């Protein structure tokens, strides 16, 4: 009989959870996911392969529910991707953000420690932790978070390191820079822009309101990044890794690129909206992926321009299909 490969993913219905599930199914894992009870369940990202997954109801706010699911599933690997992950919301709901994004990590780690400390654990850490530490940012760069979200992620990172050091858990922290795809939520800037480009091109919208166009981000392609998550748990020793492309663009360049894909002039459609400026901004993120390249053999496959094109094309197809369905109704 082969070695048991059983993964449990929190945040399985999100962008990363959906791509990671597909990767693990390809690698012949038995894949389980934790979903929160909600009156409006959203499974569209995993709908096409949902029958190959096993979903369990539990909640990062409820310690016993996590212990129960881990006891039942007996995973060999846990990927903790669930969080309140939208930075602006973290100013409006700082306590809830702390409960999910910070203490939620400890609850999963406590469940691991109680049920089986041999389970390998991946924590989705974030480049938001670097805040205004100057670029390039690598594993040794000090954290200087600028949002309640960033502060909560710093806690999640250090509690992961602490369970590794205190209890010998194979716990790793993946410090991922921004990663995007057609499955990205529309509240994040890349998808907000590509969705607007598609709607403007197809004549169902005319304007796009944005905040700070000068912020710089190191944007990569989400399917590349989930490969790195998995790779971290296949190492001989646990460790922490920065995952990034090492290439930076401004929001303005993102906008130019996306409107360019559709042959549109962005200046005619983009308006600045002061209400979208954040109380404190992270101005410049640029990752140094040397360690992940050398130790994991990880390299991004899809670059910025190709990713933006893929996202604009996917949104154009979707908006056209919706318009077609609307016309027939």
Nearest to ligand G4F of 210, 296 (CB atom): 210
Nearest to ligand G4F of 32, 183 (CB atom): 183
Nearest to ligand G4F of 127, 181 (CB atom): 127
Are the C-beta atoms of residues 59 and 65 closer than 8 Å to each other?
yes
Q: How far is the CB of 64 from ligand G4F (least distance, A)?
A: 27
Nearest to ligand G4F of 70, 105 (CB atom): 105
Nearest to ligand G4F of 118, 185 (CB atom): 185
Does residue 105 bind ligand G4F (CB under 6 A)? Answer: no
- Two tokens, residue 117: 């400390």
DSSP characters for 288-305? --HHIIIII-----S-HH
Is 126 known to be catalytic? Answer: yes
Binding residues with ligand G4F: total (CB under 6 A): 21
Sheet with strand 171-176: strands edge to edge: 53-57, 30-35, 6-10, 77-80, 120-126, 171-176, 240-243
Span from 91-99, 122-130, 289-297, 310-318 in contact with ligand G4F (CB under 6 A): 122-130
Distance of CA 47 to the CA centre of its chain: 19
Contact partners, residue 35, CB within 8 Å, separation at least 6: 12, 13, 41, 55, 56, 57, 58
In degrees and rounded to multiples of 5, residue 272 shows phi and psi of -90, 140
Which of the following is catalytic: 65, 125, 127, 128? Answer: 128
Is 128 known to be catalytic? Answer: yes
**Please, where are the H alpha helices in 83-131?**
89-92, 94-97, 104-115
Are the C-beta atoms of residues 189 and 254 closer than 8 Å to each other?
yes
Does residue 178 bind ligand G4F (CB under 6 A)? Answer: yes
Does residue 127 bind ligand G4F (CB under 6 A)? Answer: yes
Does residue 85 bind ligand G4F (CB under 6 A)? Answer: yes
Which of the following is catalytic: 65, 126, 147, 173? Answer: 126
50, 56, 113, 278: which one binds ligand G4F (CB under 6 A):
278
32, 120, 157, 192: which one binds ligand G4F (CB under 6 A):
192
The total of other beta-carbon atoms located within 10 Å of residue 302's CB is 16
User: What does the alpha-carbon distance between residue 121 and residue 71 come to, in Å, rounded to a whole number?
Assistant: 15
User: What does the alpha-carbon distance between residue 203 and residue 195 come to, in Å, rounded to a whole number?
Assistant: 12
212, 235, 250, 253: which one binds ligand G4F (CB under 6 A):
212
Does residue 146 bind ligand G4F (CB under 6 A)? Answer: no
128, 224, 256, 288: which one binds ligand G4F (CB under 6 A):
128
Task: Give the footprint of ligand G4F on residues 226-255 (CB under 6 A).
Answer: 251
Does residue 286 bind ligand G4F (CB under 6 A)? Answer: no
- Please report, in angstroms and rounded to a whole number, the separation of the first and last CA atoms in the chain: 54
109, 111, 115, 210: which one binds ligand G4F (CB under 6 A):
210
- Two tokens, residue 209: 């309101």
- Which positions are annotated as active-site residues? 126, 128, 149
- Residues engaged in binding ligand G4F (CB under 6 A): 85, 87, 126-128, 177-178, 187-189, 192, 210-212, 215, 217, 251, 276, 278, 281, 285
């Amino acid at each position: 009989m082969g070695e048991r490969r059983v993964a449990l993913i929190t945040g399985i219905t999100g962008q990363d959870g959906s791509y990671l599930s597909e990767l693990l199914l390809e690698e012949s894992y038995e894949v389980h996911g934790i979903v929160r009870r909600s009156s409006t369940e959203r499974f569209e990202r995993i709908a096409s392969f949902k029958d190959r997954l096993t979903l369990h109801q539990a909640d990062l706010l409820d310690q016993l529910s996590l212990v129960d699911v881990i006891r039942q599933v007996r995973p060999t690997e846990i990927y903790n991707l669930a969080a309140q992950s939208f930075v602006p919301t973290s100013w409006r709901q700082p306590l809830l953000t702390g409960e999910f994004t910070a203490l939620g990590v400890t609850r999963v780690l406590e469940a691991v420690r109680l049920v089986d400390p041999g389970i390998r654990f991946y924590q989705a850490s974030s480049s938001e932790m670097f805040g205004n530490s100057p670029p390039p940012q690598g594993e040794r760069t000090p954290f200087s978070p600028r949002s309640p979200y960033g502060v909560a992620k710093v806690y999640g990172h250090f509690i992961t390191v602490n369970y590794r050091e205190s209890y010998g858990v194979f716990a790793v922290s993946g410090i991922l820079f921004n990663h995007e795809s057609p499955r990205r939520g529309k509240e994040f800037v890349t998808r907000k822009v590509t969705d607007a480009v598609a709607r403007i091109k197809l004549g169902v919208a005319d304007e796009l309101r944005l905040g700070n166009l000068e912020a710089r981000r190191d944007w990569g392609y989400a399917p590349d990044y989930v490969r790195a998550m998995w790779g971290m748990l296949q190492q001989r020793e646990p460790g922490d890794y920065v995952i990034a492309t090492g290439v930076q663009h401004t929001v303005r360049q993102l906008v130019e690129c996306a409107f360019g894909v559709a042959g549109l002039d962005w200046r005619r459609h983009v308006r600045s909206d002061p209400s979208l400026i954040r109380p404190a901004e992270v101005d410049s993120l640029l990752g140094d992926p040397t360690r992940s390249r050398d130790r994991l053999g990880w390299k991004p496959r899809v670059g910025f321009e190709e990713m933006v094109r893929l996202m604009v094309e996917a949104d154009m197809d979707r908006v056209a299909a919706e318009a077609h369905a609307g016309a027939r109704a």
